[in-house]
A = this chain, B = another copy of it.
Amino acid sequence: MTARSSSIHVGLNAVILAVTEDRPRVLTRTHEPSGLPALPFGPLDPLEDRTLELGLRGWVREQTGLELGYVEQLYTFGDSDRDPFTTANGRVISVAYLALVKEHALTTGPAQWRDVYSFLPWEDRREGPSPLLDEEILPALRHWEKAEPGRKERVQVAFGLGRSRWDAERVLERYELLWEAGLAAAQEMALDHRRMLATALGRVRGKVRYRPVVFELMPKAFTLLQIQRVVESLAGVGLHKQNFRRLLEKGGLVEGTGESFAETGGRPAELFRFRRSVVAERPASGVPYPSRG
């Protein structure tokens, strides 16, 4: 066993997300063999890194200058075909982490922020279903459905057709379906990194609902509309403004600072801050998703 496992290599990938100008961004680099955008990758130093997470924080700091705040383990990717460039030399297992940083986080080195929805365009439905979906994806899927029974059902659930509703969290399910159907060719990333990104987006969308993680993406003080825009950016759907406010305030997640913010053209908005103490008080406190049709 030990003889064989010596041909296994373990690495760490980071999906680092921020929200800038109402768009979720992901930090990328260029993957050398292919020239495609890729997620930052670093090795695990088995002697120095006490935990996987500390290892990750270390090389992210070195590669990009970013000091990560919120970090959580996402998934471990280990399919044998995930890295065609190194399969010949042995297997590469990658433990992927999700990290959230504040907008305008400064980075050094060759890393680059890119729009998450440029890789998964059908996931942004703030202006209604993406035209790409109705004009290209769904027509193509209608063909693909016919080849096997059961496929139609999967499409309906994944994309919220028929009696099903669009479920913002099923990002990975949609991506894998499109991959199977051979429709995921455009908007490429290196290796299986688009799958990692889809996993990450699904995870934040879920997490935001029941843990106060949005605040990791916000400045210290913010208006309620600003926080709503950030949630909408991630969720990819529009939310009902008045209900969002009501639920957020009632939940005790935020408190007014007394100051106001008057750069929007309309009535000045009150500035709020995150009430750190709710984390202790309320077990499962997240931000509400009052849908808007």
A residues engaging B (CB < 8 A)? 1-2, 4-11, 43-47, 49-52, 73, 75-76, 78-81, 89-91, 93, 95, 153-154, 156-157, 160, 163-165, 167, 170, 279-284
Q: Which residues of B contact A47 (CB under 8 A)?
A: 4, 7
Instruction: Collect the chain B residues with CB atoms within 8 Å of residue A163's CB.
Output: 281
B281 with A80: CB separation less than 8 A: no
How many whole Å from A141's CB to the nearest CB in chain B? 15
Inter-chain CA distance A139–B44, complex, in Å, is 41
Q: How far is the CA of A279 from the CA of B157 in the complex (A)?
A: 9
B51 near A280: Cβ-Cβ < 8 Å: no
Q: With the chains together, A2 CA to B46 CA distance in Å?
A: 11
Whether A51 touches B80, Cβ cut-off 8 Å, given contacts A5-B44, A45-B4, A280-B157, is yes
Chain B nearest Cβ from A123, distance in angstroms: 16
Given contacts A10-B93, A283-B170, contact A80 B50 (CB under 8 A): yes
Contact partner of A46 (CB less than 8 A), chosen from B44, B75, B91, B283, is B91
